[in-house]
Chain A
Amino acid sequence: MSQRYVEISNLVKAYPNPFGDDFRVVEGLNLNMFQGEFVSLIGHSGCGKSTVLTMLAGLNEISEGGIIVDNKEIDGPGPDRAVVFQAPCLMPWMNAFDNVMLGVKNVYPHATPEERKQIVEYSLARVGLKDSMKKFPRELSGGMQQRVGIARAIALKPKVLLLDEPFGRLDSLTRMELQDVILDIVAQEKLTSMIVTHDVDEAVFMSDRVIMMTNGPLARIGEVMNIHWERPRDREEIFADPKFFEYREHLLSFLEQRAHLKSDFHDFEDNRQHGKDNLLSFVKNPMELYGAENSHKA
C-alpha cells in the first residue's frame, strides 16, 4: 500500500487582486494520503477547505504547487476522482438510472450496453435505490437524491472519492444513514476518500485522519489528528467510547480557539489597504480608481 497515493505538495490558491498582492486563499498546503485512507478537512467557513477539495477534483485551477494521484500529476477533472457535491446536482430531466448512466458511458467506452446497465444497476443497488431506478429527481426525497449522487460517483469506479459537505442539507437521521452507506462502500471498494465537513462528530466517526485548517486567507494545515479505530466501525460502540469525547473535545477546542483568532484576516485587510494607498499615489484622476474598483467587483 503506497504511503503517498495522493500527494498534495505546496498547494497554493491565489486569486488575482488589482491592488498588488494576490489574494491567497490557501498557502503552501502539504498533505499525503495513503491508499484507502479516509481524511476529513475541518475548519471555519471560508478557510479554504472546499477550495482544496475542488482543486483535487480538478474543478478549480491550481495556482502553485501540485497534486499527484496514483503517480500521475492531475490536470483538470477526471473520472478517477469522483465528487459528491453538497447539492445532489442531478439532471432533473433524467431519471435516477440515466443520471448514473451519464458518466458510465464515458468511463467504460468498450463495455457493452448490457454491462453498462449492470454497472448502473449495481451502483444504485449499493446505495439502496434498487426500487427507485426509474424515478425522476423530483419524485425523490433529498436523501434519496443524494444517494443517486453517490451512486453516480461510485459507478465511475474512481480511485479517489471526494465529498464536499455531502450531508450539509440533510436531516441528522438521513445523514447517519448516508454516512454508513459511504463507509460501507469506501471499505469495500478500498477508496481513498476526502470529506469536507463542518460536523465534528461526523469527522471523528468517519475518518482515519482529521485535518484541521487555519482560518483563511492564507489557510494551511493547523493540526492533524489521527484516529485509531478499527474498521468497520460501529456507531453505538464508538459513541460510547470515552476516546470519542477526547477526539471531539480536541477538535472543538481547536475550532473555538481559531474563532477568536481573526488576525489572519486583518493581515489581509492591511494588505488591501496598503495596495490601495500605493495605487492612489499613481492615480491622478480619482474616477479612474472608481472604474478600476467597479470592474473588479463586476
Chain B
Amino acid sequence: MADSKVDKIKYGILKVIDVSGFKVFDPPVRLLFGEEPQKQIKDIGRYMVLPILFVVGCIFLWTVIAPTHKTKSGEVPTPTKVWTAGQDSLRFHEKEDEKEKAFFLSGEDRLAEIKEVEALQAELQAEFEKLEAISKETSANAEAETAKKLAPLQKEYDELKAQYKEAQTARKAALTALSDKVAAKQAKSADLVAAIIDNDTKTDAEKGKLKDIKTAMDDIRSNPPKEVKEAQLAANKVADEIQHGKKRLSYLTTGNLSEKKASFVAKAEDAETALAASTTGKDALKQAKYVVSNTEKADKADEQKYPRAASIVWQTHRSLLTVIVGFIIGALIAIPLGIMCGLNKIVMACLTPLISIFRPVSPVVWLLIFQIVVGAFFPDPEKHPLFVFLNSSINPLSYFQTNPAMIFSACTVAMCALWPALVNTALGVSSIDPDHLNVAKVLRLGFWSRLFKIIIPSSLPLVFAGLRISLGVGWMVLIAAEALSSSDGLGKFVWDEYQNGSSQSFANIILACFVVGIIGFFLDRLMIILQRFVSFDESATL
C-alpha cells in the first residue's frame, strides 16, 4: 500500500511538471523516487547540468568582455553591477513602502514606529560614523600613498623642467649668435635654418617628455585605489539609509496624515473657542471662517494620498496591468470576429483585406494614432470622471495611477495582439471536423448550441495557441509603446534610465531587460498551461 501511495505522489508531481511544461525537472523527480537512477543521472547531466554550465559560461564571458568596451555612459556593466542595481532597485521600492506606511500610521502604532525608527537611526548613525572614519582613513592612507608615488615623479618633472629651460635658453642664445653671424655673412644661412629645425625638434621632444610625466601623475591622482571608492560607497549607502530614516520620521510626525488631520481639528477647535469669546462682529466672522476652512481641511485629509515615487516593482506591476487590459480588449475583439470569419465565408472575404493591410502596421504608428484618437476623449484628464474614479483614494486601482497614456498603450497592445488571435480563431473554427457538424445536423442543434457546444470547444486549442502568440506580441509591443508614450511601466523605466545617464543607468537598463524577459517567459508559460487545459487530445486532467 505504501508503495502505491508513493507512486501516487510521484505521478502527481510528474503530471504537474508535464502540464506546466517544465520537462527539465522530470529526471530529478524520478531520481528522487529511485526510478532507473543511471538513466536519470544521464538525463540530468545532459539536460540540466550542461545547459547550466553553458549559461554560467555565458555569464563568465560577459564578465570578461563587458569592462573592455568603453561607452559614453561608462563601461558596459558586469553581471555583478547589474545584480547590485537590482538589489538597489528593490531597496528603493521597500523604502517607498516604508514611507507610505509611515504616512498612514496613526495612534499607538505611530508612536511605536517612531521609537523603532529612532533606535534604527541611532544604530545607523553609529555605523555611519564608523564607516566614515574608515573611509577617511583609507582615503588619507591612499592620499599618502599617492603622494609617495607622486613625489619622485614631481621631482623628476621639476628637474627636467629646469634642465630643459636651461637647455632652451642656451639654444636660444646659440641661435641669436648664429643669426648675427649670418647677418655678418660669417656663416651660411642654410646652417641657421638647420639650427632652427633642430631647436624645434628638441623643444618638441622635451615638451613631450614633460607631458608624459604629467599624464602619469594625473593618472595616479584620478585613479585612487579601489578601497577608497568602496569605503566611500559603503559610507554613502548608510548615509542614504539615514536620510531615508529622517524622511520616514518626518512622515511619522509632521507629514503624517493623522497628525495633519489632528492639527486641523485642533485649529478648528481653537477657532471655535475664540468664536465663543469674540466680542466684535468682525472678529466673530473671522473666527467662524477659520472654523469652516479648518473643518473642511480636516475632512479632506482622508482623501490625501502618499506621493509615491516610481520604483521598478511598481513599474512592473503597471506594465503587467496594461498588457493584461490590452490583451483582454484584443481577445474580446479578436475571438468573436475570428468565429464569425470561420463560420461565414462572406465575413471572411470582407475582413481579409482589413486583416492583410492592418496586420503589418508597426505598433509605433498605432501608438501615435491612438494617442491622438484616445487623447481627444480626455481633454482634461485630471478632471475626467473616469480617472477621478480610478484614482480616488478609496479605489484599490488607484495604486496604478491610471492616465490616458496607459489607456492608449493598452489600445496599442490590443491592436497588435489582435491579429494572431483572430487568424487562429478563424482557422480553428473553419477547420472543425465535418463529422462533428454532421452530428450537429442530425441532432438538429440550434445555431447557439451548435456554436457553444461544438464549434467553440473544438476550436479552443487553436484559439489558445493564437492567444499565446498574441500575449507574447502584446508584451513586446507594450515595452516599446511605454518608452515612446512615457506611460509609466518598464518601457518608461528603460527610457528614463537612458535619458538621465547616472552611473547606474546602464546597469538598470540591462536589469530591465532581464525583468522584461523573465516576465515574458512566465506569461508564455501561463498560456501554455491554459492551452493544455483546454486541449482535449491531451490527458490534461489534474
B435 touches which of A78, A87, A103 (Cβ 8 Å): A87
Judge whether B172 is part of the interface by a CB distance below 8 angstroms. Answer: no
**Are B453 and A91 in contact (CB-based, < 8 A)?**
yes
CB distance from B268 to the nearest CB of A (A): 65
| B382-420 interface bits toward A, Cβ cutoff 8 Å, 1 = contact, 0 = none | 000000000000000000000000000000000000000
**Are B436 and A156 in contact (CB-based, < 8 A)?**
no
Most central of A79, A103, A156 by chain B CB within 10 Å: A103
Task: Tell me the bound Cα distance from A106 to B436 in angstroms.
Answer: 16
Q: Which residues of B are found within 8 Å of A79, using beta-carbon distances? A: 442-444
Considering the complex, give the chain B residue whose CB is closest to the CB of A85: B435
**Are A91 and B457 in contact (CB-based, < 8 A)?**
yes
A102/B445 contact (C-beta < 8 A), A91-B436, A91-B454 known: yes
CB distance from B447 to the nearest CB of A (A): 12
**Are B537 and A138 in contact (CB-based, < 8 A)?**
yes
Q: Which residues of A are found within 8 Å of B449, using beta-carbon distances? A: 102, 105-106
B444 touches which of A78, A92, A93 (Cβ 8 Å): A78
B442 touches which of A59, A87, A91 (Cβ 8 Å): A59
Q: Is the interface of B mostly helix, strand, loop or mixed?
A: helix
Which positions 65-86 of chain A face chain B at CB distance < 8 Å? Answer: 76-79, 81-83, 85
Q: Which residues of B are found within 8 Å of A58, using beta-carbon distances? A: 441-442
**Are A92 and B536 in contact (CB-based, < 8 A)?**
yes
CB distance from B18 to the nearest CB of A (A): 16
Considering the complex, give the chain B residue whose CB is closest to the CB of A99: B439
Task: Tell me the bound Cα distance from A91 to B460 in angstroms.
Answer: 13
Judge whether B458 is part of the interface by a CB distance below 8 angstroms. Answer: yes
CB distance from A80 to the nearest CB of B (A): 10
Considering the complex, give the chain A residue whose CB is closest to the CB of B440: A102
**Are A89 and B443 in contact (CB-based, < 8 A)?**
no
**Are B537 and A57 in contact (CB-based, < 8 A)?**
no
Task: Tell me the bound Cα distance from A182 to B62 in angstroms.
Answer: 73
Judge whether B304 is part of the interface by a CB distance below 8 angstroms. Answer: no
CB distance from A89 to the nearest CB of B (A): 4
Task: Tell me the bound Cα distance from A103 to B453 in angstroms.
Answer: 11
Judge whether B446 is part of the interface by a CB distance below 8 angstroms. Answer: yes
Considering the complex, give the chain A residue whose CB is closest to the CB of B443: A103
**Are B436 and A138 in contact (CB-based, < 8 A)?**
no
Task: Tell me the bound Cα distance from A76 to B441 in angstroms.
Answer: 9
CB distance from A98 to the nearest CB of B (A): 9
CB distance from B445 to the nearest CB of A (A): 6
Q: Which residues of B are found within 8 Å of A92, using beta-carbon distances? A: 536-537
**Are B442 and A82 in contact (CB-based, < 8 A)?**
yes
Task: Tell me the bound Cα distance from A59 to B446 in angstroms.
Answer: 16
Task: Tell me the bound Cα distance from A39 to B457 in angstroms.
Answer: 37
Considering the complex, give the chain B residue whose CB is closest to the CB of A158: B442
Interface size of A as a range: 20 to 34
**Are B441 and A59 in contact (CB-based, < 8 A)?**
yes
| B424-452 interface bits toward A, Cβ cutoff 8 Å, 1 = contact, 0 = none | 00000000010110110111111001000
Which positions 32-90 of chain A face chain B at CB distance < 8 Å? Answer: 57-59, 76-79, 81-83, 85, 87, 89
CB distance from B451 to the nearest CB of A (A): 13
CB distance from B525 to the nearest CB of A (A): 23
Q: Which residues of B are found within 8 Å of A57, using beta-carbon distances? A: 442
Judge whether B539 is part of the interface by a CB distance below 8 angstroms. Answer: yes
| A131-147 interface bits toward B, Cβ cutoff 8 Å, 1 = contact, 0 = none | 00000101000000000
Task: Tell me the bound Cα distance from A105 to B440 in angstroms.
Answer: 12
CB distance from B275 to the nearest CB of A (A): 73
Q: Which residues of B are found within 8 Å of A138, using beta-carbon distances? A: 536-537, 539
Task: Tell me the bound Cα distance from A79 to B537 in angstroms.
Answer: 29
Q: Which residues of B are found within 8 Å of A78, using beta-carbon distances? A: 444
Task: Tell me the bound Cα distance from A92 to B436 in angstroms.
Answer: 10
Task: Tell me the bound Cα distance from A93 to B442 in angstroms.
Answer: 19
**Are B457 and A83 in contact (CB-based, < 8 A)?**
no
Q: Which residues of B are found within 8 Å of A77, using beta-carbon distances? A: 441-442, 444
Q: Which residues of A are found within 8 Å of B436, using beta-carbon distances? A: 89, 91
Q: Which residues of A are found within 8 Å of B454, using beta-carbon distances? A: 91
Task: Tell me the bound Cα distance from A105 to B448 in angstroms.
Answer: 13
A102/B438 contact (C-beta < 8 A), A78-B444, A91-B458, A93-B536 known: no
Task: Tell me the bound Cα distance from A103 to B436 in angstroms.
Answer: 13
Task: Tell me the bound Cα distance from A74 to B536 in angstroms.
Answer: 36
Which positions 263-315 of chain B face chain A at CB distance < 8 Å? Answer: none
CB distance from B446 to the nearest CB of A (A): 7
Q: Which residues of A are found within 8 Å of B433, using beta-carbon distances? A: 89
**Are A59 and B536 in contact (CB-based, < 8 A)?**
no
Most central of B443, B445, B458 by chain A CB within 10 Å: B443
**Are B443 and A102 in contact (CB-based, < 8 A)?**
yes
Q: Which residues of A are found within 8 Å of B537, using beta-carbon distances? A: 92, 138
**Are B458 and A156 in contact (CB-based, < 8 A)?**
no
| B503-542 interface bits toward A, Cβ cutoff 8 Å, 1 = contact, 0 = none | 0000000000000000000000000000000001101000
Task: Tell me the bound Cα distance from A296 to B217 in angstroms.
Answer: 90
Which positions 436-485 of chain B face chain A at CB distance < 8 Å? Answer: 436, 438-439, 441-446, 449, 453-454, 457-458, 460
Considering the complex, give the chain B residue whose CB is closest to the CB of A155: B443
Q: Which residues of A are found within 8 Å of B443, using beta-carbon distances? A: 79, 102-103, 106-107, 152, 156
> Can you list 12 contacts pairing A with B, beta carbon distance less than 8 Å?
A57-B442, A79-B444, A83-B442, A85-B439, A89-B436, A91-B457, A92-B536, A93-B457, A103-B442, A103-B443, A107-B444, A138-B539
Report A's interface with B, CB cutoff 8 A: 57-59, 76-79, 81-83, 85, 87, 89, 91-94, 102-103, 105-107, 136, 138, 152, 156
User: Can you name 19 extra interface pairs (CB under 8 A) apart from A79-B444, A93-B458?
Assistant: A59-B438, A76-B441, A79-B443, A85-B439, A89-B433, A89-B435, A91-B453, A91-B458, A93-B536, A102-B439, A102-B443, A102-B445, A102-B453, A103-B442, A103-B445, A105-B449, A107-B443, A138-B536, A138-B537
